[in-house]
Amino acid sequence: MFGTAGCGSVTARAPAPAPPSVMVWPSFDGRNARTDRGMVVRARGGTLDAVLAYAGGQPVPGHLDATRTIWRSDWALKPGTEHTVTATATRPGAPSTVAMGRFRTRTPQRTFRVASAVPLPGETVGVGMPIILTFDAPVRDRAAVERALEVRAERPVEGAWRWVGDTQAVYRPREFWPARQRVTVVAHLAGVRAGPGVYGAADRSLTFTVGRAQTSTVDTRTHQMTVRRDGRVAQRMAISAGMATTREYTTTSGVHLTMDKGNPVRMVSPGRSKGDPGYYDLLIDHAVRISNSGEYVHAKDNVWAQGRVNVSHGCINSRPDQAAWFYAGSLRGDPVTITGTDRELEWDNGWGYWQLPWEEWVKGSALHAPDAAQRPAPATPAQPLPQR
């Protein structure tokens, strides 16, 4: 007799999903990591649940992409600093992965920084005010530096930087600033590569306030100046403009900005020596400068000419009491638009930046110029930092 074997079914258990992987660049344990390419954390086979990054104990700002698989630092990394990273990746049905480590960024031998900034921190300015940053070394990689310049306004505007040389960048909104708001400028320069072997040493920030909206118009043909505050006429002034016997004595037409003021200001005739015809050396009261070619709105006792004829050496003369009023109420960056002469204000004469149409202005930007989109991005695991 033979035994009969029973048959049974065996169900194979499916393997558990593999945990996601996490990659961090710069690599952990590095002692000489690059700063200019930022930090990138990537998840494979899952999504990033949390990324905590610190530089010398301070949080490193960054953001996740829409798929939550890539986290990037917003700016370059602080040089000569130990960075720590903790990143957690998850996947449904699989154990999570936690990557923890540290690396140190390199210390550059040559650095650059912001040498001066306009406006001053805490200053209240007019609606036409530019932001002017001057660097202490030539900037060869303008796009990298411009990408690190952030402007935050309480009432956001469209604006762009324009390079006016290797060491200076100027920011201008497309239209005048909306009045009565705070604006913060942050130059995230720490670790940014300005050129071969030259890196940003430190960030720089400032906050200023845009005050009331004061705009002035000057018609040299009717010899009248009208000052408006917040759209309402605040003062009408009879004036006398440049006599126009020479180019230097011709008032420039265009959109000027008030730049500074003094009471008094010493004014000396250009290109003339004592004893020459037309020579003068005078102290002028309540003078508000509007260009770099010697133009001011200032007090003058030639009331007989004001409102009637142009007799000045290029400045806008006004009645002493009205000049004092204008002087007292002027902020740096107040627009003064002059018409009626055949000499145009150059865009780079003082703060004549509003002379350029917007389409021309952005051509001076390393990021917004028409050919900027065609310029190759640097080959790097960390894609170009987000434009701010």
Q: Which residues sit opposite 288 in a β-bridge? A: 261, 297
Closest CA to 284 of 308, 260, 301: 301
Residue type, 333: G
Please provide residue 57's backbone torsions phi and psi, each rounded to the nearest 5 degrees. Answer: 90, -5
Burial level of 87, CB count in 10 A (0-12/13-18/19+)?
Answer: buried
CA dihedral sign of residues 219, 225, 230, 234 = negative
Closest CA to 267 of 278, 277, 279, 282: 282
Q: Would you tell me how many other CB atoms lie within 10 Å of the CB of residue 65?
A: 11
From the candidates 188, 286, 298, 313, give the one annotated as an active-site residue. Answer: 298
Task: Decide: helix, strand or coil at residue 374.
Answer: helix
Active site residue 7: no
Helix%, strand%, coil% for the chain, nearest 5: 10, 40, 50
Residues in the chain: 388
Residue type, 37: R
DSSP state letters, 43-54: EESSEEEEEEEE
Q: Which residues sit opposite 59 in a β-bridge? A: 54
Active site residue 315: yes
Q: Tell me the catalytic residues.
A: 298, 315
